Chain A
Amino acid sequence: MFSILRDLLRFNVEFLVGFVLTALIFLFAAAHFFAPYPDTAIYLLPPDMPPSAEFWLGTTSRGQDVFWQMSAAIWNTMTFGLVVMILSRIIALAVGMLSGYLGGKADEVLMTINDTLIALPNIPILLLVYFVMRDQMTWPLLAVTAALLGWNYDARLIRSVTLSLRNREFTRHAVFAGMSVPQVLVRQHLPYVMPVVFFTAMNNLIWAIGLEVTLSVLGFSDVNRPTVGGMIYWANQHQAAVSGIWWWLVFPIVAVVLLFLGLFLLAISINEYIDPRSRLSRMGG
């Protein structure tokens, strides 16, 4: 594992940049565990202080330190993104592989559900769920809702890969040798599908973070829990852009852009480890 990481860092510039960016942001987010102030407390500090030696990134109009707020916000946003990603990957894998491998009626039913969900727009559904749930709306619930909306394109992609694997010789031999459907799917097909899943996972993570930011900016989430979108929401509520409190808006936006960039670079470069053939093509083989 260590040598894989070392080789990726040494031979792959995209990976190096992505890794460094993501690691820095992760460390920054993890720092909130050592924050001197509780992350939900307000009016603790003098408001509207510009960046200075005392308050590195300034303070908000609500009397919070932007640095520590942002640290907690990125942590929460990343957690949300990861939960959505993992849940939606599980759904996408299960639906895509079963649908592609079993074919027939199972395929028809699963793909009808899939295509229906693709046709439905996400944001209105999430808003509807929010208005129905209102005060019961917690971030895990929002994550589950987002995960239920975020798997469908990738399930189709995974299905198409499985569809071609179903007729390959190694699958037919495996079936002949007595492997059951779950065994064929997990042992024979999953390693083949994994690069696709990994790439879609990174994309999905980026999508989920974007979704969270969008909903929070609009105030459709638990706004008292610090998130990147939530910070922007409060900055807008306090007219930060108009009253010149630029640090309240700029730093969260820069942080989330860097996080996007880091994750994207990781996504495009990590394939090299997972797929031995793309490693070869880099070698020119």
Chain B
Amino acid sequence: MQVEVKPETLAAPAEPVLRVENLKAYYQMNYFGVSREVRAVDDITLTIHRNEIYGIAGESSSGKSSLIKTIAGAIRPPLRVVSGSVRFDFGGRTLDVYDDPQAMKAARWRHLSYVMQGSMNVLNPVRRVKHAFHDFAFRHMGLSPSAFRARVEAHLEQIGLDPQVLEAYPHQLSGGMRQRLAIGLATVCEPEFIIADEPTTALDVLVQQDVLALIKDVQSRLGSSIIFVTHDMTVHAAIADRIGIIYAGRLVEEGPAQAMFARPQHPYTAHLIASLPRIGDTTRRQSLPGKPPNLADPPSGCRFHPRCPLAITKCETESPPLEPRGEGRVACWRAGEVAAA
């Protein structure tokens, strides 16, 4: 796919829907006398506004999925929230995910829906599709069964599916259709906030384009906010308003998509973007030396320093704070010197 930086959608009033503050969530294991602590989400602070698509990027095992699970409140041991808070604001009502689990439970799917990794398999293989809609959405909508059915059918038509799929079993549908259904399920209640964890990873490029367009379309129609996780920078370029880059459980850079693609501030971001193929450019892409750090035993100081071409002595001992710079925020002692890399 060609990188296509979408034009900046102009300034919706910055009304925050989600505030994550100093969130730390660790996998804590203590078996057979060996205790391990994997710091998958380490001190992350971010804000997502109404009507915004926020992309989270990072390599595998950087903590993207853990972050998003923690935000959704869908964590299971051994993943635990160590400190920090996650607050949603649904139409003036503030909900803290970890302070008020009961209210949160009621708000889920109605206000906050989730397209999980492998969401193609969200449909129970031995039940008809209509039952999935009924199970997930019926109680949240407060409609009579016939009105609910009409609503679901109208919704399916809007996302380009024949209402007849409701009578089908999942194995009778194609992967793309199931993916559409997963998105249909997540959006049928018209939630204010949608969490999408790699919703397009298992799809080929054409279907992926299709699904991205669908997500974008539904989002702009509903005016909801989406937090969107994928390691695929081209997807971010196509869909995200703002992007946050995660490295080793930390947010290292955040900013408007266009600005980030044009002028990355963090050397890691610069490498991610430089690795993308561009039409007409036949130079060999340089790979980043080294391996992603072990989150159970992360490097001292800036976690990127062992692989960073710009690393200085300070980077090895002191961890750089995430500070505003330009249109976004960046955590690097040498931010802005990236062009040299």
Instruction: Establish whether residues A177 and B126, one from each chain, have CB atoms under 8 Å apart when the complex forms.
Output: no
Smallest beta-carbon distance A42→chain B, Å: 53
A156 to B320, CA, bound (A): 54
Smallest beta-carbon distance A194→chain B, Å: 8
Partner of A173 from B116, B125, B127, B169 at Cβ < 8 Å: B116
Instruction: Establish whether residues B169 and A276, one from each chain, have CB atoms under 8 Å apart when the complex forms.
Output: yes
A107 contacts partner chain B, Cβ-Cβ < 8 Å: no
A105 contacts partner chain B, Cβ-Cβ < 8 Å: no
The interface residues of chain A, by DSSP majority, are classed as helix
Instruction: Establish whether residues A178 and B105, one from each chain, have CB atoms under 8 Å apart when the complex forms.
Output: yes
Partner of A276 from B72, B113, B122, B126 at Cβ < 8 Å: B126
Partner of A177 from B109, B118, B125 at Cβ < 8 Å: B109
Smallest beta-carbon distance B79→chain A, Å: 13
The range of chain B's interface size is 20 to 34
Smallest beta-carbon distance B335→chain A, Å: 37
Instruction: Establish whether residues B116 and A178, one from each chain, have CB atoms under 8 Å apart when the complex forms.
Output: no
Instruction: Establish whether residues B72 and A176, one from each chain, have CB atoms under 8 Å apart when the complex forms.
Output: yes
User: Which residues of B are found within 8 Å of A176, using beta-carbon distances?
Assistant: 72, 74, 108-109, 114, 116
Q: A169-B121, A173-B122, A187-B131 are in contact. Are A178 and B74 (CB under 8 A)?
A: no
Q: From B132, which residue of chain A is reached at the shortest CB distance?
A: A170
Smallest beta-carbon distance A277→chain B, Å: 7
A192 to B108, CA, bound (A): 25
A211 contacts partner chain B, Cβ-Cβ < 8 Å: no
User: Which residues of A are found within 8 Å of B109, using beta-carbon distances?
Assistant: 176-178
Q: From A187, which residue of chain B is reached at the shortest CB distance?
A: B135
Smallest beta-carbon distance A176→chain B, Å: 5
User: Which residues of A are found within 8 Å of B127, using beta-carbon distances?
Assistant: 188, 191
A188 to B127, CA, bound (A): 8
User: Which residues of B are found within 8 Å of A240, using beta-carbon distances?
Assistant: none
Instruction: Establish whether residues B126 and A191, one from each chain, have CB atoms under 8 Å apart when the complex forms.
Output: yes
Q: Of residues A173, A176, A191, which shows the largest number of chain B Cβ atoms within 10 Å of its Cβ?
A: A173
A192 to B196, CA, bound (A): 27
A170 to B129, CA, bound (A): 12
Instruction: Establish whether residues B108 and A169, one from each chain, have CB atoms under 8 Å apart when the complex forms.
Output: no
Q: From B170, which residue of chain A is reached at the shortest CB distance?
A: A170
A280 to B119, CA, bound (A): 24
Instruction: Establish whether residues B126 and A169, one from each chain, have CB atoms under 8 Å apart when the complex forms.
Output: no
- CB-contacts of A165-184 with B (<8 A): 168-170, 172-179, 183
A222 contacts partner chain B, Cβ-Cβ < 8 Å: no
- Of the A-B pairs whose beta carbons lie under 8 Å apart in the complex, a sample of 21, sorted by A's number, is A169-B116, A169-B119, A170-B122, A170-B132, A173-B114, A173-B116, A173-B119, A174-B136, A175-B74, A176-B72, A176-B114, A176-B116, A177-B113, A177-B137, A178-B108, A178-B109, A178-B140, A179-B135, A188-B135, A191-B127, A277-B125
Chain B positions near chain A (C-beta within 8 angstroms): 72, 74, 105-106, 108-109, 113-114, 116-127, 131-132, 135-137, 139-140, 169, 171, 185
